[in-house]
Chain A
């Protein structure tokens, strides 16, 4: 059975007089350990799909089943608890808390879980090592480069060992060299740790890093049979 099962997912909302339907009956299965990229034109609904998958947005109709949990049916509070244990979110703009050090930013999701201080420390150190920032643990976001900030964001997303990690254009704010490093890091996490990753991107080259590429077109998902970037 697939880790993620999405069935007939729709999302509509009103913008002025218009009704917009970025998702018009999307169905998708994602296996455990898959690295999926999601492309599409601006406004095609890829971020909406990602947000629904991450449990921070709700579909208009349809079903989202992740590890046998019907995510769309959870109450606001239960959904928050589910997110803390099952979802890691990597943002385009890193979204680090400026008053907290890299270590404290990474530790933040663990504070919501019932872990001892020693256990939290151990996990943060592993995450810092995984993203190669052990020597930057005490640095604040303002003292880090864009690439380092994103690596802290990635460490924060994986530190609680979530069921699924979603990334919303993780290289969108980075130069090409740093983007390459971040994509390599994501690929390595997927290969070495078996992290299930779903990444939204505009960048064809970034999408090519994923083992499976999808495109959202007019509210529907299209599987890329010929991997993008493989040509």
Chain B
């Protein structure tokens, strides 16, 4: 069949307007498909973080927005005494936007020495030392830095908070790349929101082989008689609960992805049917020369596959480039879902493209292969 690929390509080029329209349609549909897939992957990644089950988030009970959760900082040593708890990190969260937004920036104020220990990210620019020494210093996630054009040495102001960028980091967890890390006490003392001694949440690291629900219960029980009630969940559950509404919408958006697949199928199949109808006598000629029915079928399927692959490749590559270059993320209530390019995305796009290309060629392929030679030659 490889010997006939030049013939197929020339045939596609003969009807270049039709080919280009089909290829661009397939490209747009696969672009949207990949974006929708990336959104779904973002939610899945959020819930499947490596430490999501061994890390707990202690939040104020019956509070959902980070602005309304205020836990006494001195809860930390009490939590640390609970069996199975390895580390407790107090975190003050501040965000520019509690609602769902595509440009959410989340400040996490943490004790600098604990931040360095707890977050396994690498600095792509700047260094740790200046960050640790300066109280209004900040480490900025690469997505925020890209979107806002930030680099070390620059000041950055957001919602009345002004920080000095001392480093840009890339986290192993894509959703963290939308965070800005500052000193805890700096964020507690920010103008107009004096919250010294109070934090938004505690991040609790557990030892291995510890039953997380038991520890969650123990923490909440500990403060049941205290001034502020707590609600403790694993990090995975906490994030999933926070973005539940968004995740529902994203789940619905999956139908959009399937619709795109259907669109490519219809588009490529229509073009292939038209191509077959245009070339009834040409296929009859090929059969006269000795092409078998299977050979004609294969020619049509390969033509359909090439059309889908040309469009699909453009769409998949463009979507991954766009995701890589724009650092797109969706955030709500200080939890961000990052949309990242990935090998999985490329492979699923390629698999869909190939499947659609083959499926779209089957019916016209059978139509061409079954045609009787003599009547088809007379149709010329």
Contact = CB atoms under 8 A, between A and B. Distances in A.
Q: Do A and B come from the same complex?
A: yes
A228 interface: no
Most buried by A among B7, B286, B287, B288: B288
Contact of B4 (A84, A111, A156): A111
A19 interface: no
B143 to A, nearest CB: 48
A76 B288 contact: no
B365 to A, nearest CB: 15
Contacts of B380: 93, 95
B7 A85 contact: no
B353 to A, nearest CB: 25
Nearest to A120: B3
Contact of A112 (B13, B282, B289, B377): B289
A95 B281 contact: yes
A81 B293 CA distance: 11
B289 A83 contact: yes
Contacts of A99: 7, 10-11, 13-14
A51 interface: yes
A109 B290 contact: yes
A56 B282 contact: no
Contact of A98 (B14, B288, B294, B377): B14
B374 A83 contact: no
B64 interface: no
Contact of B10 (A77, A91, A100): A100
Nearest to B8: A99
A28 to B, nearest CB: 20
A87 B374 CA distance: 15
Interface residues of A, number: 26
A95 B374 CA distance: 13
B293 A54 contact: no
Interface in B326-347: none
Given A97-B7, A99-B7, A56 B373 contact: yes
A89 interface: yes
Interface in B14-33: 14
A108 interface: yes
A51 B374 contact: yes
B285 to A, nearest CB: 5
Contacts of A76: 292-293
B288 to A, nearest CB: 5
A77 B294 contact: yes
Contacts of B286: 108
B320 to A, nearest CB: 34
A57 interface: yes
A80 interface: yes
Nearest to B372: A57
B293 A80 contact: yes
Given A83-B289, A109-B289, A112-B289, A97 B282 contact: yes
B258 interface: no
A143 B294 CA distance: 33
Contacts of B291: 80, 84, 112
Contacts of B292: 76-77, 80-81
25 contacts: A54-B288, A56-B374, A56-B377, A80-B290, A80-B295, A81-B292, A83-B288, A83-B290, A85-B290, A87-B288, A87-B290, A89-B289, A91-B285, A93-B380, A95-B285, A95-B380, A97-B7, A97-B285, A99-B13, A99-B14, A104-B7, A108-B289, A111-B3, A112-B289, A112-B291
Interface of A: 51, 54, 56-57, 76-77, 80-81, 83-85, 87, 89, 91, 93, 95, 97-100, 104, 108-109, 111-112, 156
Given A80-B293, A112-B289, A112-B295, 14 more contacts: A56-B373, A77-B292, A80-B290, A84-B291, A85-B290, A87-B288, A87-B290, A95-B285, A95-B380, A97-B7, A100-B7, A109-B289, A109-B290, A112-B291
* A-B pairs, 10 with minimum CB distance: A84-B290, A99-B10, A80-B292, A56-B373, A83-B290, A112-B290, A109-B289, A95-B285, A99-B14, A111-B3
